[in-house]
Amino acid sequence: MISDGLLAPASQNMPCLPLQESLKQTSLYDFHRHHGGKMVAFAGWSLPVQYTHSHLESHLHTRQHCSLFDVSHMLQTKVFGRDRIKFIESLVVGDIAELKPNQGTLSLFTNERGGIMDDLIVTSTSDQHLYVVSNAGCRDKDFALMKNKVKEMKAAGCDVDLEVSDNALLALQGPAMARVLQAGVSDSLAKLPFMTSAVMSVFGVPGCRVTRCGYTGEDGVEISVPASRAVELAELLLKDSTVWLAGLAARDSLRLEAGLCLYGNDIDESTTPVEASLIWTLGEVTSGCPSPCLQKNIAMGYVESDYSKLSTALTVEVRKKSCPALVTKMPFVATNYYTVK
């Protein structure tokens, strides 16, 4: 799954804020409180940073078993109309027209200078619309970008319309995901490889869009579910003792181990897609935390190209102290996405 501005407690750039009034709440807010979620303010939303288990326990459980995350704060939009491909390709990098039915791809909104405005997943559904998921922290600018482009294209006689979905979004992540979810769906999940999507009934909840993707590096799905039945579905998934609830802290350290970029830290409007593909041009650490799996500190950042060769020894400054570092291949922890063999 794409980055959504998550931040591990170890990061010094944008720590999680204390809970404030007037924050938006997902449809699972009371559910989180009931299950011991420690709520914090993030991107204008009240979200759980962790539950009764520690950050370390939650992280390792996701790698070894399965965890459930509430990612309903993400912006979900649908693009309709004959010119929907033309519309999205005018805003993002990538060849959306070549996607097969129900296939998705990671893409980027870019500005006129080629800087990254946000990262997102675009799925070309078999229901004659595009399903787009983008970051909560960029929600307002993403929607304004798309809305203005729709207005411009409609004025030019194009057929395109935009609809914001009010569905909740649940991410079930970890090696036990397929076994847990298979008990609640009729079709074989073996037919749903990484970055593909299908609408199905999940544990009796109809009309769910299940996309095999995630932001942890593990095999997983994101389930777009009608908001009115999100709590019901979450409780049904938790009936399997393998499934734990997990929050923002574990999600951030998991994505960093998997080498997945965080918008606002590792990529932003000053970063081009070429640079984000690890052709680094600056000397700056953008994300870092202790790796629960590797039991050592890891970080992503930018270095001058002369120092970007694997196994190059570097020195980084952490809280005004010099620490040795080594350039290494990413991801730090191997990903386990499900692909058709």
Residue 160, domain member (yes or no): no
pLDDT the model gives residue 93 = 85
Smallest CA-to-CA distance from 255 within 223, 281, 288, 224 is with: 288
Q: Rounded CA gap, 244 and 255, in Å?
A: 18
Residue 320, domain member (yes or no): yes
Predicted confidence (pLDDT) per residue in 250-292, tens digit: 999 999 999 988 888 888 888 776 555 433 333 777 788 888 9
Average pLDDT estimate for 316-328: 75
Question: What residues make up the domain containing 296?
Answer: 284-327
Q: Rounded CA gap, 78 and 129, in Å?
A: 6
Average pLDDT estimate for 169-185: 98
For residue 259, is it left (φ>0), alpha (ψ between -120 and 50) or beta? left
Q: What is the identity of the amino acid at 158?
A: C
Residue 298, domain member (yes or no): yes
pLDDT the model gives residue 263 = 83
pTM, two decimal places = 0.83
| 8 A C-beta contact, residue 255 and residue 2 | no
Paired strand residues for 34: none
pLDDT the model gives residue 282 = 33
> 313 pLDDT band (50/70/90 cuts)?
confident
Smallest CA-to-CA distance from 53 within 40, 62, 44 is with: 62
Q: Rounded CA gap, 312 and 204, in Å?
A: 53
Any known ligand binding at 304?
Answer: no
55 phi and psi angles, rounded to 5 deg: -55, -45
The residue assigned the tokens 């009936």 is 239
Q: Rounded CA gap, 56 and 201, in Å?
A: 33
Residue 310, domain member (yes or no): yes
> 295 pLDDT band (50/70/90 cuts)?
confident
Residue 300, domain member (yes or no): yes
Sign of CA dihedral 84, 276, 138, 165: positive
* DSSP label of 98: G
pLDDT the model gives residue 3 = 44
> pLDDT exceeding 70 applies to what percent of the chain?
89
pLDDT the model gives residue 275 = 54
Q: Determine the angle formed by the axes of helices 55-64 and 248-257, rounding to 10 degrees.
A: 50
Number of independent structural domains in the chain: 1
Smallest CA-to-CA distance from 245 within 185, 173, 175 is with: 173
Residue 305, domain member (yes or no): yes
Average pLDDT estimate for 43-62: 97
Indicate the SS3 state at residue 274. helix
Average pLDDT estimate for 124-138: 95
- Going by C-beta distance under 8 Å and a sequence separation of 6 or more, which residues neighbour residue 22? none
pLDDT the model gives residue 264 = 81
Q: What is the identity of the amino acid at 166?
A: D
Paired strand residues for 290: 297
Residue 321, domain member (yes or no): yes
Q: Output 280-287 pairs: Cβ under 8 A, ≥24 positions apart.
A: 280/304, 280/305, 280/308, 281/305, 283/307, 285/316, 286/13, 286/262, 287/11, 287/256, 287/262
Residue 322, domain member (yes or no): yes
